[in-house]
Amino acid sequence: MNRIARKFKEDKKLLSIYYSAGFPNLDDTVPILKKLEASGVDMVEIGLPFSDPLADGPTIQKSSTQALSNGMTTDKLFSQLENIREYIHIPLVLMGYFNPILQFGIEKFCQRCESIGIDGLIIPDLPVDVYHENYKELFDQHGLYNMFLITPQTSENRIRYIDKVSNGFIYMVSSSSVTGAKNTFGNNQTDYFQRVSAMKLSSPTVVGFGISNASTYSAATQHSNGAIIGSAFIKFIEEKGVERINDFIRSIRV
């Protein structure tokens, strides 16, 4: 069974952390992973830096730019993760844009992911219907889940289509804006969380964008299976350092 599917069978609200590979320093990718697993994080999304990250806010854009400047590439990331399953056991997801994957070679990319032990992908600019028609069979061959994003504006028909053709979980973007930490959620976002929960989808749902502290994590997971924190975590390791990652995780799960 895929590690993502196994994780969602646990009776708990999941905490997933996103960070950019190669940030703050090129060789921080694996040390951050080790610290996150030791801190009790349930799943990690490793960002593949890209020069034109359309869905990302300024914090993640900055970390991506820094990672590229540090020398991070797709090949470099795969090299860093080569033996990762010797000591990391939680689900690992690669999150990136389709262009670098296309340039690398889609089948080759999937093969490398499978050999390393990557559990799934999040590709924000790959439409679900294009994936379904052209790539789902390939992803399935290599045991890769592919997760899609929905927003408050996504129609019910589209959400149900995503629920039918994808696997792993549905990534609920908390708002229609780019990524970035927020301190609270408004009524519109709460209504959206409740509306999607009431649809009784077959896939678990995880909320991302705007989760920054214990309060927003609690609000996001009230009507979903988990939440993803990115910008707030990246700011923390930039300001406090990789060594204090456990402090950040403890502040979320109070």
Q: What are the structural domains, with CATH classification, of the chain?
A: 3-8+13-252 (3.20.20.70)
Half-sphere exposure of 96 (CA within 13 A, CB side): 24
* pLDDT score of 115: 98
87 burial class (0-12, 13-18, 19+ CB within 10 angstroms)?
Answer: exposed
Cα angle: 213, vertex 215, 217; to 5 degrees? 70
**Cα of 245 vs its chain's centroid, Å:** 18
Kindly report the length of the chain: 254
Prediction pTM value? 0.93
Is 56 among the residues known to form the active site?
yes
Cβ atoms of residues 148 and 162 within 8 Å: yes
Which position among 10, 37, 52, 56 bears the catalytic label? Answer: 56
Give the side-chain half-sphere CA count within 13 A for 79: 9
The whole-number pLDDT of residue 178 equals 43
Let me know: does 248 contact 236? Beta carbons within 8 Å.
Answer: yes
Q: Specify the DSSP element, H or E, that contains 179.
A: none
Q: Is position 45 annotated as part of the catalytic site?
A: yes
Catalytic residue (one of 45, 75, 119, 129): 45
**Residues in the chain, pLDDT under 50:** 177-182
Beta bridge partners of 148: 170
